Amino acid sequence: MPIIGTFSSAAVRGFRVSSRAFTKWNSADKSAEITLSGNDLVATHSTSTNYGGARTVASKAAGKFYWEVTYTTAGSEDYIGVAKAGASLAAYMGSDTNAWGFYMQGNDVYYNGALAFSGAGSVSAASVIMLAMDVDAGKLWVGVGGSWRNSGDPAAGTGHVNSASLFTGVAMYPCYISRGATAGAATANFGASAFSHSVPSGFTAGVPA
């Protein structure tokens, strides 16, 4: 007979069973250039040369979390990453010490106005961006289409794309920032749907509300 219950791990690859609520983009913590849709999971930037972005409703100051963002539409300049409450949404992500931003057009990660990790090429539209954050250790991993950048292994704690311990114990928010004459859009999966890729061992599947 079927077993009915609630799993503590919110979403895993291929199926979804949980009564847990998950975060969304925050309509009260976004730029005027950003429009939210799809139950506040789709963030679309206007065709503006101004930077504009959105943070999530929930932040996390402890624990390990995995989520995915589909790069729905490529803009002129797009960033996915994590940010503190004090990070500006009117500048590129990683322009100061308050955020780490994965720059899709360059496959790079920025922090404090400099490259924290240098990639090659660009990320194509419709790609699924994988993000894993260990707030206790202050580490961030970024991957695309099932492959972690920097030969990352979140389960082992290696290959993170930022300097460790720079956000240990600090409340961090998933974040999206874009700008340019071409409107960019990002569709987040914070755990309410099945993930496209496997959740690293030891990480919470999604970002609970």
User: Residue 202 and residue 156: Cα distance in Å, rounded?
Assistant: 9
Residue 198 lies in a domain: no
Give bridge partners of residue 44 from the DSSP assignment: 35, 185
CATH number, domain containing residue 70: 2.60.120.920
Under 8 Å between Cβ of 34 and 27: no
Residue 67 lies in a domain: yes
Specify the pLDDT at position 13.
55
Residue 63 lies in a domain: yes
Residue 202 lies in a domain: no
Residue 199 lies in a domain: no
Give the range of the structural domain holding residue 69, as residue numbers without chain letter: 24-191
Dmax over CA atoms of the chain, in Å, equals: 58
pLDDT in tens, 161-184: 998 767 888 999 999 999 988 889
In the chain, beta strands by DSSP E: 11-12, 15-16, 25-30, 34-37, 42-45, 48-56, 64-73, 77-83, 99-103, 108-111, 114-117, 128-134, 139-144, 147-148, 173-180, 185-189, 204-205
User: Residue 8 and residue 3: Cα distance in Å, rounded?
Assistant: 15
Residue 130 lies in a domain: yes
Structural domain count of the chain: 1
Residue 175 lies in a domain: yes
User: What Å distances lie between residue 175 and 2, 7, 26, 55, 94, CA to CA?
Assistant: 39, 27, 10, 5, 11
Specify the pLDDT at position 11.
53
Q: pTM value?
A: 0.90
Specify the pLDDT at position 18.
56
Q: Which of 59, 64, 115 is nearest to 87 (CA)?
A: 59
Under 8 Å between Cβ of 105 and 116: no
Q: Which of 94, 74, 79 is nearest to 177 (CA)?
A: 79
H helix runs in 167-207, sequence order: none
Residue 205 lies in a domain: no
pLDDT under 50: residue ranges of the chain: 1-10, 14-17
